[in-house]
């Protein structure tokens, strides 16, 4: 792992490393034909910040980092999963499956190579090029656009958690305007702590050219009219991939001065060092709420999983080893000698047949056991810490209470005869339900935050059998798995099989 005091060290190249050309521009323009391979790109030297100059850059990331972004970006569907939490697994599959289905990797020789680059890039695979129907291509375009916008804004440029703007936008007093269905607004918003400004983000994906980008620029302008009094940056992220070409990203931007962002609900805003909400869970109730909300899909998948398919993996309890890195939010673990040594110490000290002693010894030497689950239909394993699971469990309960008081929100309240007669009316009906639900959440925010804080702190000392519906202790997995690529943040876990990476065309 890269120590915090060596943030300018060259990035380590991992088994799933790849390079993504990024073009920073001051506005939409024609597609930069072949420049992703021929332009002289600069290394990414501004981790956690927007770069100081326009031009081509070539950051190196991992497939794990991209998949992490895919699982966390998109509309929050958890209000509709309270009666059927197992559907969260399907939503996670929907978010990652198009990327696995239609993307591949290939080796490249750019005209101006950079040291420490991986030499591999994402591209379209043969199925997409020759066999995929237009509707399937549209699915990839949407998921790719949202995923790469999340990756670029959060992993590269240090933005905090992103949210769908349809839920009310960043300023409570302007929520009604942001929710107005007659306005064509951008997809996402977030708050950049170091820049001390809101970001409005519109994502486009697929074979992205100027005709696709121009409407997105107008959507951002419309959002800027609503937010004009506050300092904000407009980001148009185009994730473009063409037949026999590399995946590259264009980031068109405008920065607007104005009033600083409003302070969070639980106190005055203090700009922080580059990081993620997870880096500040101990000091910020807002960060805890944001993180729990972002992880609700994973929580529901874990909560509804068959007990026999759950397991726990051991990670160091010291979270400082897994804070934001210069090149992303996740920390790959295969070169983490400390974790391997601590796991080996437990294996050597306690036989696998004595599971209770193993669990106690694991925690006694400073390891935490994170609950994990392989998402059905994928080789993707997702998980989280005991503390975060406890906070999500409390948030799930609070949301259930609100859902039960929101007319028509629950599936069992629906009646076929009451369904609107057309798609537009149906969408307006859903918007009204979401609006009532979110407004109630906002009204109860302070109380919910207090309860989440108590649950988070209390979770550190609880057993998994206390937190899981089946009241069972999952098996503790301390074995070596050479084919598994693990990654973690302070409170979350992600792993995938190395042979499950996108097809590598040589």
Q: What is the mean pLDDT of residues 424-441?
A: 73
Q: Are 157 and 191 in contact (CB under 8 A)?
A: no
Per-residue confidence (pLDDT) for residue 434, from 0 to 100: 72
pLDDT at residue 498 greater than cutoff 50: yes
φ/ψ bin of 116: left (φ > 0), alpha (ψ from -120 to 50), beta (otherwise): left
Closest CA to 255 of 44, 26, 22: 26
Per-residue confidence (pLDDT) for residue 10, from 0 to 100: 52
Per-residue confidence (pLDDT) for residue 5, from 0 to 100: 37
Mean pLDDT, rounded, of the chain: 87
Per-residue confidence (pLDDT) for residue 44, from 0 to 100: 92
CB-based contacts of 251, cutoff 8 Å, min separation 6: 22, 23, 24, 25, 152, 235, 236, 237, 238
CA atoms of 408 and 1, how far apart (whole Å): 49
CA atoms of 67 and 298, how far apart (whole Å): 13
pLDDT at residue 450 greater than cutoff 70: yes
pLDDT at residue 167 greater than cutoff 90: no
Instruction: Give the dihedral of Cα atoms 312, 318, 320, 324; nearest 10 deg.
Output: 0
Per-residue pLDDT reduced to its tens digit, 317-338: 998 888 877 778 999 998 888 9
Per-residue pLDDT reduced to its tens digit, 205-220: 988 889 999 999 999 9
Q: What is the mean pLDDT of residues 405-420?
A: 55
pLDDT at residue 427 greater than cutoff 50: yes
Closest CA to 159 of 252, 248, 254, 277: 277
Rounded to two decimals, what is the model's pTM? Answer: 0.91
**Percent of the chain scored above 70 by pLDDT?**
91
**Percent of the chain scored above 90 by pLDDT?**
61
Per-residue confidence (pLDDT) for residue 324, from 0 to 100: 79
Per-residue pLDDT reduced to its tens digit, 201-255: 999 998 888 999 999 999 999 999 999 999 999 999 999 988 778 999 999 999 9
Per-residue confidence (pLDDT) for residue 322, from 0 to 100: 86
CA atoms of 160 and 372, how far apart (whole Å): 25
């Amino acid at each position: 792992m890269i120590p915090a005091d060596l943030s300018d060290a060259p990035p380590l190249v991992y088994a799933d490393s790849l390079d993504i050309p990024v073009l920073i521009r001051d506005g939409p323009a024609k597609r930069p034909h072949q420049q992703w391979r021929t332009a002289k790109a600069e290394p990414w030297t501004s981790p956690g910040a927007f770069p100081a100059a326009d031009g081509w850059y070539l950051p190196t990331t991992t497939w794990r980092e991209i998949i992490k972004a895919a699982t966390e970006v998109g509309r929050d569907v958890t209000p509709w999963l309270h009666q059927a939490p197992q559907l969260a697994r399907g939503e996670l599959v929907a978010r990652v499956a198009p990327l696995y289905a239609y993307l591949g990797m290939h080796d490249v020789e750019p005209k101006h190579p950079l040291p420490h680059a991986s030499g591999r890039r994402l591209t379209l695979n043969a199925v997409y090029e020759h066999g995929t129907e237009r509707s399937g291509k549209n699915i990839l375009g949407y998921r790719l656009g949202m995923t790469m916008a999340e990756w670029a804004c959060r992993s590269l440029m240090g933005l905090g958690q992103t949210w769908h703007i349809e839920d009310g936008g960043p300023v409570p007093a302007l929520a009604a305007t942001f929710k107005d269905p007659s306005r064509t607004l951008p997809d996402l918003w977030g708050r950049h702590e170091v820049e001390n400004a809101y970001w409005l983000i519109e994502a486009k994906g697929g074979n992205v050219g100027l005709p696709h980008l121009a409407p997105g620029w107008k959507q951002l302008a419309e959002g800027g009219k609503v937010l004009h009094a506050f300092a904000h940056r407009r980001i148009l992220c185009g994730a473009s991939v063409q037949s026999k070409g590399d995946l590259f990203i264009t980031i068109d931007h405008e920065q607007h001065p104005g009033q600083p962002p409003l302070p969070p609900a639980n106190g005055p805003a203090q700009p922080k060092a580059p990081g993620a909400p997870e880096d500040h869970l101990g000091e910020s109730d807002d960060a805890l709420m944001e993180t729990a909300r972002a992880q609700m899909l994973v929580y529901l998948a874990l909560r509804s999983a068959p007990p026999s398919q759950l397991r726990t993996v051991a990670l160091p309890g010291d979270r400082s080893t897994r804070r934001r890195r210069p090149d992303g939010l996740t920390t790959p673990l295969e070169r983490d000698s400390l974790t391997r040594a601590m796991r080996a110490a437990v294996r050597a000290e306690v036989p696998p047949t004595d599971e209770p002693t193993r669990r106690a010894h694991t925690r006694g030497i400073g390891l935490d056991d994170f609950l994990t689950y392989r998402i059905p239909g994928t080789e993707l394993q997702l998980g989280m810490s005991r503390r975060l699971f406890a906070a999500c469990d409390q948030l799930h309960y609070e949301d259930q209470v609100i859902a039960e008081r929101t007319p028509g929100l629950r599936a069992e309240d629906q009646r076929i005869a009451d369904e609107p007669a057309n798609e537009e009316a149906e969408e307006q009906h859903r918007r009204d339900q979401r609006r009532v639900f979110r407004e109630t959440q906002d009204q109860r925010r302070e109380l919910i935050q207090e309860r989440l804080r108590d649950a988070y702190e209390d979770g550190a000392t609880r057993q998994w059998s206390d937190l899981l519906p089946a009241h069972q202790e999952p098996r503790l997995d301390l074995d070596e798995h050479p084919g598994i690529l693990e990654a973690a943040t302070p409170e979350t876990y992600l792993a995938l099989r190395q042979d499950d990476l996108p097809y590598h065309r040589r």
